[in-house]
Amino acid sequence: MLNETLKMEKPMLKPIKLGELDLSNRFAMAPLTRQRAAAGLVTTLLHAEYYAQRATAGLIISEASQISPRGMGYPNTPGIYSQKQVEGWKLVTEAVHAREGKIFCQLWHVGRHSHPLLQEDGGLPVAPSAVAEVGHVTTLKGKMDPVVPHPLSKTEIEQIIADYSKAARNAIDAGFDGVEIHGANGYLIEQFLNDNSNLRTDEYGGSIANKIRFALEVTAAVVREIGPDKVGIRLSPSGTNFGVRNSDPVATFTQLIERLNTFNLAYIHLIEPFAHLIEGLPQYLPKPTSYFRPMIQTVLISGAGYTFATADEAIKNGDADMIAFGRDFISNPDLVYRYERQKPLNAYDTETFYGGDSRGYTDYPFYGRSNQL
């Protein structure tokens, strides 16, 4: 056990309350798409080993898991909509809990970031409006140009909100401690938030109050289903993924966060932008975490680009309550131990990030010993 002096010297080791959970430290394992789901988009014992290896994180946020077949945007990503998927995720949650870890399931709908080759029926992906994104979509046949998506009707929006609610219930049935609504990175919820991807003229478009409506309705449905103490949401206030653009992101996310505060969520998770992605876009905040910190009335998780030193600084300054690490958790299953003991980090191998088997997944060594649990 670490003594109290060490905890004082190491801000990231201080325990924290998140909803009804007592977390042992301020480390969050960021949601990381790894594309290793089996047939039926089901998680397996390999996933269980991977997550259990990293259970010393204060909180694990699972890889993004689509809430319906229509929500899929990459090959071999797990779902949380079928009973077989629920059973697969039970292997993971049981393994994490056996090591006294805590884990939330990230709920995902990619919206327009999909392709007919990724849709069960070969149909079009869906989005707020019939506007194609920028870039490419990854399919089993390689990278494809994006297609113009099908604009959602109000009835279809209601069905997607119901899918989020059902997925949240499935996650709890699978043994997760809670869920994180993925509202970031250019996917469906963020497509509603942005001007150039949401051209609607009904109650879901136009004004900021209308553009944030979908995010709030999803959150309300999930909270009704499983309770606010088990719900977090991830946002990217300075996000530009897949070409989304917002003419007034500060006002948009100010209104959204003010409304989210009324739900008493377990946490809000903000993504910091990389400077080159917002170069020439002065409307975007270079440091959204510190800007929005005074507005957020729950636990604030911040992620993207942190080192141990900058994480310590953010916790000491009160800019964030927890820090999410991504790539460093991929290559260092014992990241918390290495922080505690000031040990060097394993380098990560980007070639094994997406798809494959145990290589680059469960074979990174713990410090001074093998990767065996």
Active site residues: 187
d(CA 130, CA 13): 47
Question: What is d(CA 289, CA 93) in angstroms, rounded to the nearest whole number?
Answer: 30
Beta bridge partners of 233: 181, 268
| Strand stretches in 93-220, DSSP E | 103-108, 126-127, 137-139, 142-144, 150-151, 178-183
Please answer whether residues 53 and 371 qualify as being in contact, where contact means their C-beta atoms are separated by less than 8 angstroms.
Answer: yes
- For 54, the token pair is 């990293």
3-state secondary structure 255-281: HHHHHHHHHCCCEEEEECCCHHHCCCC
Cα distances (angstroms) measured from residue 229 to each of 212, 218, 223: 22, 16, 8
Burial class (CB in 10 A: 0-12, 13-18, 19+), 155: exposed
- Mention every residue, 6+ apart, whose C-beta is less than 8 A from residue 350: none
* Tokens encoding 195: 């001007």
Q: Tell me, what amino acid is at 238? A: S
- At 328, list the tokens: 């460093």
End-to-end CA distance of the chain: 19
Look at phi and psi of residue 145 and say left if phi exceeds 0, alpha if psi is from -120 to 50, else beta.
Answer: beta
Q: Please check whether residue 59 is in contact with residue 17, taking contact to mean a CB–CB distance below 8 angstroms.
A: no
